[in-house]
Amino acid sequence: MTDSITRITGNGGETHQHAGDDDAVLTTNHGVPISDNQNSLKSGERGPTLLEDFVLREKIFHFDHERIPERIVHARGSGAHGVFEATDDISDLTRAAVFTKGEKTEVFVRFSTVAGGAGSVDTPRDVRGFAVKFYTREGNWDLVGNNIPVFFIQDAIKFPDLVHAVKMEADRGYPQAGSAHDTFWDWASLMPESTHMLMWAMSDRTLPRSFRTMEGFGVHTFKLVNAEGKASFVKFHWKPKLGLQSTIWDEALKLQAADNDYQRRDLFEAIDTGAFPEWELGIQVFDQAFADAQPYDVLDATKLIPEEDVPVRIIGRMTLNRNVDNFFAETEQVAFLPTNIVPGIDFSNDPLLQGRLFSYLDTQKSRLGTTNFHQIPINAPRCPFGNFQRDGMMQTQVPKGRANYEPNSLAAHGEEGGPRESPVRGFATANAATGPDETGDKLRIRAERFADHYSQARLFYRSQTENEQAHIASSFVFELSKVGLLDQVPPRMVANLRNVDEDLAKRVADGLGIDLPPKAEAAREPVDMNPSEALSIHRNMKETLEGRAVGILIADGTDAAALDAVIAAVDGAKGKPVIVAPKVGGATLSDGSTRKADGQLAGTPSQLFDAVAVVLSDEGCKTLLKEGAAVQWVMDAFGHLKAIGASDAAQPLLDKAGVEADDGVTGLDDGFVEAAARRFYDREPKVRMLA
């Protein structure tokens, strides 16, 4: 690339880089010059993406087949079986049988990280996949989403570029499973449309405490279609029963050191012990009039619809109640496809969704080696299915007779004729238009309202608590500080952030030690939207111990009655008490009994718990004062803003660990269990410097 490259902003605010006369020209694999590498070909400004777009198809096709057999993204996953029950009557909105009130449908869910390979770890700062396969009586429906309601890009043609930028760098093969490096931020700083997603990615949403305490979203705008053919727009939301909960950055780093499989283990053990994870399924439903009245485009995957504007209506409940029998056969071989929809649910013209409809089906052929991947048990529908598709690699069915085509008249001659189409029961695409610009010339273009890349990023940032805003600013500082020789990238990113919030940009610039750059020119000036409490983790955390673990540190001489009282109190609050001792064999208590430990101190750090209790005698505390792991155990619990309950005799250990008195530091009475249900974010300025 030479200085003759020109940078142009498209009508949707996207960055185009045009070759000069002497520069290499981007082409297809067959040498055809490409005029636009930013937009797929659509039928009109907001119309569907066209199959004839050979540039899009070749780019996605090649990307889908880059690696075999591991998933290119979402490679590290955890799966479980369960059941979905429809709890509300929405027959006025959709004919889908899965939403018949009282209907119970078997499901398989796969949670995953995005950037890392299958051998990476559970706890990096990353988006989490949240994919649900519903085995409905009308066929499989796959709701393939994430734990964040928006995405980095507006058009599927940019997906290979996004993933290439965020994955390990091509020349060195690292870093693994993280975005804090040159190529990602170089790309992101040149893609203003990614700004809203970057706010989410730099927030605590990408550091979930567990799969059980994160939300899920369908991301795209879909349609619900009722029996009369009336279509409504819909967005899907999963709300965890246990509420939202996240870790903080330092805690996530130490969790990785303690247990690479922390979230995978948490899910498996919760189901194994009968603490079945639950989510409510909610929908935001709206019509074309609402869509037209918004300052953003509802078909833009980088935008969300604030819950204050369209409240989430709860229509069902999902419970995960069975672990997989074999990880490879189920979790690894499960194939999710956005094209798997059932009558009563339909697609919109979201250009990111339209590209996914091609990409996923093509990917499964590469990963699983056969067009018959749907016959693998985890992918097979639970309802009867049949067609005239035959043969192929790894065919496991044995169709009988001559009927492998239709129409045919074999049944009239006494032979089996096979299945036939059904206009009444079959899937039919909703024919309602999605806006006045759906038809028109074939264009590589984005709708005008797609050009606003900052309003919703500003909405997200200003909806956070002060602590959450500090975490976002600090995350940008950390990630951008990892950018090496590309010294133009951090100022370019901060210039973009000035369109989000001036204070945020200043904090990031100060944290990086650079001058505040001029504000980047916005393709469309951002507007102020009302803050949304639904976007904050801290405002939506439930003060409960249910489903959460409490570490209880003991040593020789620990008061037996006090220990039993703490265990009983945690059990009573539906928490999980976990005893930690210097030796896994346990400790000799004050009454002479021996209490076995659930974990050894050196290998069971406090990062594994949501709160801690330190139940020590004078002699036990004296011993642990000389044990660095014990001091670190308490220090980290305090630093990670957790409740600490302690016996009077344990005070010297707390003092050595730097614990200062606050509402989260209690005795072992009822106040501890009450405090253990929350975190104490007002403590954070005492323990670390944030941007």
Interval 102-143: pLDDT, tens: 999 999 999 999 999 998 999 999 999 999 999 999 989 999
Are 115 and 166 in contact by the 8 Å Cβ rule? The answer is yes
Distance CA 478, CA 220 (A): 30
Q: Which of 120, 111, 299, 335 is nearest to 223 (CA)?
A: 299
Residue 255 CB neighbour total at 10 angstroms: 22
**Whole-number pLDDT of residue 1:** 43
Which helix H or strand E contains 282, and what residues bound it? strand 278-286
Mean pLDDT over 408-424 rounds to: 84
Distance CA 338, CA 282 (A): 19
Q: Regarding the domain delimited by 1-66, which CATH topology (the fold level of the hierarchy) does it fall under? A: Cytochrome C Oxidase; Chain J (4.10.91)
pTM of the predicted structure, to 2 decimals:
0.89
Token pair in block for residue 101: 């009130």
**Whole-number pLDDT of residue 95:** 94
State the DSSP code for 360. Answer: H
Q: Which CATH architecture has domain 547-687?
A: 3-Layer(aba) Sandwich (3.40)
**Whole-number pLDDT of residue 26:** 79
Pick the more confident residue, 432 or 173.
173
Mean pLDDT over 24-46 rounds to: 81
Reply yes or no on whether the pLDDT at 164 is more than 90.
yes
Residue 323 CB neighbour total at 10 angstroms: 18
Distance CA 231, CA 343 (A): 12
Reply yes or no on whether the pLDDT at 66 is more than 70.
no
Reply yes or no on whether the pLDDT at 2 is more than 60.
no
Reply yes or no on whether the pLDDT at 404 is more than 50.
yes
Interval 604-625: pLDDT, tens: 999 999 999 999 999 999 999 9
Reply yes or no on whether the pLDDT at 438 is more than 80.
no
Token pair in block for residue 565: 């009282």
Are 570 and 576 in contact by the 8 Å Cβ rule? The answer is yes
Token pair in block for residue 146: 């994430």
Distance CA 142, CA 317 (A): 16
Q: Give the sign of the dihedral formed by CA 499, CA 504, CA 509, CA 515.
A: positive
Could you tell me how many residues make up the chain?
691
Return left, alpha or beta for 557; rule: phi > 0 is left, psi -120 to 50 is alpha, else beta.
left
Token pair in block for residue 661: 């008195």
Interval 230-288: pLDDT, tens: 999 999 999 999 999 999 999 999 999 999 999 999 999 999 999 999 999 999 999 99
Residue 7 CB neighbour total at 10 angstroms: 9
What does the mean pLDDT of the chain come to?
Answer: 93
Which helix H or strand E contains 313, and what residues bound it? strand 313-323
Reply yes or no on whether the pLDDT at 432 is more than 70.
no
Mean pLDDT over 572-577 rounds to: 96
**Whole-number pLDDT of residue 639:** 98
**Whole-number pLDDT of residue 69:** 67
Sequence spans of domains, the chain = 1-66, 77-162+213-375, 547-687
Token pair in block for residue 234: 């819909």
Mean pLDDT over 467-480 rounds to: 98
Rg over CA atoms, the chain: 27
| Percentage of the chain exceeding pLDDT 70 | 97
What type of residue sits at position 24?
A
Interval 277-301: pLDDT, tens: 999 999 999 999 999 999 999 999 9
Q: What angle do CA 480, 488, 27 make, to 5 degrees?
A: 105
Q: Which of 688, 604, 612, 690 is nearest to 654 (CA)?
A: 612
Active-site residue set: 74, 146
Are 329 and 378 in contact by the 8 Å Cβ rule? The answer is yes
Homologous superfamily of the 77-162+213-375 domain (CATH): Catalase core domain (2.40.180.10)
- What φ, ψ does residue 615 adopt, rounded to 5°? -110, 95
What type of residue sits at position 125?
R
Give the distance from CA 38 to its chain's centroid.
Answer: 25
Interval 481-497: pLDDT, tens: 999 989 999 999 999 99
Reply yes or no on whether the pLDDT at 442 is more than 80.
no
Torsion of CA 294, 298, 300, 301, to 10 degrees: 120
Least confident of 62-71, 89-98, 302-311, 643-652: 62-71
Are 177 and 113 in contact by the 8 Å Cβ rule? The answer is yes
Distance CA 292, CA 288 (A): 6
Q: Which of 648, 62, 67, 112 is nearest to 358 (CA)?
A: 62
| Percentage of the chain exceeding pLDDT 90 | 76
Scan for tokens 């519903």, then name that residue: 134
Token pair in block for residue 648: 């009077």
Interval 495-518: pLDDT, tens: 999 999 999 999 999 999 999 999
Q: What angle do CA 325, 176, 159 make, to 5 degrees?
A: 85
Token pair in block for residue 325: 């029998």
Torsion of CA 70, 73, 75, 76, to 10 degrees: 160
Distance CA 330, CA 324 (A): 7
Reply yes or no on whether the pLDDT at 435 is more than 70.
no
- 3-state secondary structure (DSSP) of residue 48: coil
pLDDT category at 433 given cuts 50, 70, 90 is low
CA end-to-end span of the chain, whole Å? 36
3-state secondary structure 160-181: HHHHHHHCCCCCCCCCCCCCCC
